[in-house]
Structure 1
């Protein structure tokens, strides 16, 4: 029997990307919430599992993995009955990988983390106006990715969708999606919301994140 343990918090987009993948694969797992506010991720016990002290962290049969992109690719490669979520075809896989790197290096790093780290750790409640423009640019890129296709990396659901939707559904806490401008993104999100596991794996956590941001009274510099 598969014995997996996921360490994380519901509001974290990367954690939600892993939860979406686990749900899509119908994999049972234990979920351990890590109290980041209390710095539980810096405890000696946690640091033995993940010296970078980040969430998500996945335990699989005594082995520990971190970084959501590495985790979700690993889960599909090891446990999926087919390669549809992470194609073995080299060109198709390269497109998925590109989207995953876009989420990591652009959408999450430039759009989300660059605001949340100063906010949560240094109580900086006024974000530079450049951060707002960066989010708009991210939306523009994703809208372009979805041209003539239903999903982020083509016409089938992949782990790239799980990764990027977890962040896009969080970025709306800072900058609303213009429904007239981002027609493809809106349709894509609605498509993913039809997945039977979407709300539990991502929707609830995204709303938790949005509520946290709203309560922080964050604003952008003019």
Structure 2
């Protein structure tokens, strides 16, 4: 299946790890957004929102990373640990995925991306909101080995791992959040595709060099 991606993108890397977890090989299609490759007519036919990641599986086109992750598990997963069938367990995984998308990674982007792409000034309040999101995540992990609880890795762990790897590459220090810091060190040893996640994330480091985090 074709996978249109950018290595520095956390959502792309979350899909990469999910594919590794279910044993699916991706046909990598590096997509240079700065060169406008996502605006070419052939790409717009696949995804009118012209964003990455985009997956094309035997003619079926899908975008939005968490939707892709769920699709891969539903279609190719051999068990339901990554995305449990039990309604309550699945609901917690969903909540954590939406938290990552709408709070954790969103707040990171709100602070960093205007500086990276619009030459905006640093906003201390937006920086503080990132820390608040990490405080929430620290609470989720209190007494838990995994982001959604339970006794095994889930899609929530893969999604948040991708996000926090970008945090680290950007120079954001979350070591003060004990549960998050310990989980981050632990999860990289067991998450499928974690090494590739780390290697790909480094591609974004030059973009963050001009951003000066608040002290």
For the criterion TM > 0.5, the same-fold answer is yes
Matches within 5 A, 1:135-154: 135-154=130-149
Gaps of 5+ in 1: none
Report the counterpart of residue 66 of structure 1 in structure 2.
63
CA 1:193–1:220: 2 relative to 1, 3 Å? closer
Shift of 1:116: 4.4
For 1:98, which of 53, 72, 95 is the aligned residue? Answer: 95
1:103-162 superposed Cα distances (whole Å, 9 cap, x missing partner): 1111122222x23442343233x2211121111112111111111110100131000111
For 2:166, which of 161, 167, 170 is the aligned residue? Answer: 170
CA 1:115–1:38: 2 relative to 1, 3 Å? farther
Query: What is the alpha-carbon distance in structure 2 between the residues aligned to residue 120 and residue 40 of structure 1?
Result: 20
1:10-47 superposed Cα distances (whole Å, 9 cap, x missing partner): 00000000000001111112000000111111111111
For 2:155, which of 159, 173, 186 is the aligned residue? Answer: 159
Report the counterpart of residue 131 of structure 1 in structure 2.
126
Which stretch of structure 1 is more off in the superposition, 88-97 or 45-54? 45-54
Report the counterpart of residue 206 of structure 1 in structure 2.
201
Query: What is the alpha-carbon distance in structure 2 between the residues aligned to residue 117 and residue 211 of structure 1?
Result: 13
Pairwise CA RMSD: 1.7
Query: What is the alpha-carbon distance in structure 2 between the residues aligned to residue 42 and residue 119 of structure 1?
Result: 24
3-state SS of paired residue (2:7): coil
Shift of 1:189: 1.4
3-state SS of paired residue (1:127): coil
Shift of 1:174: 4.7
For 1:6, which of 3, 10, 29 is the aligned residue? Answer: 3
Query: What is the alpha-carbon distance in structure 1 between the residues aligned to residue 194 and residue 199 of structure 2?
Result: 9
Matches within 5 A, 1:48-63: 48-63=45-60
Pairs aligned (count): 212
Gaps of 5+ in 2: none
Contact map agreement 1:128 1:220 (CA 8 A) in 2: no
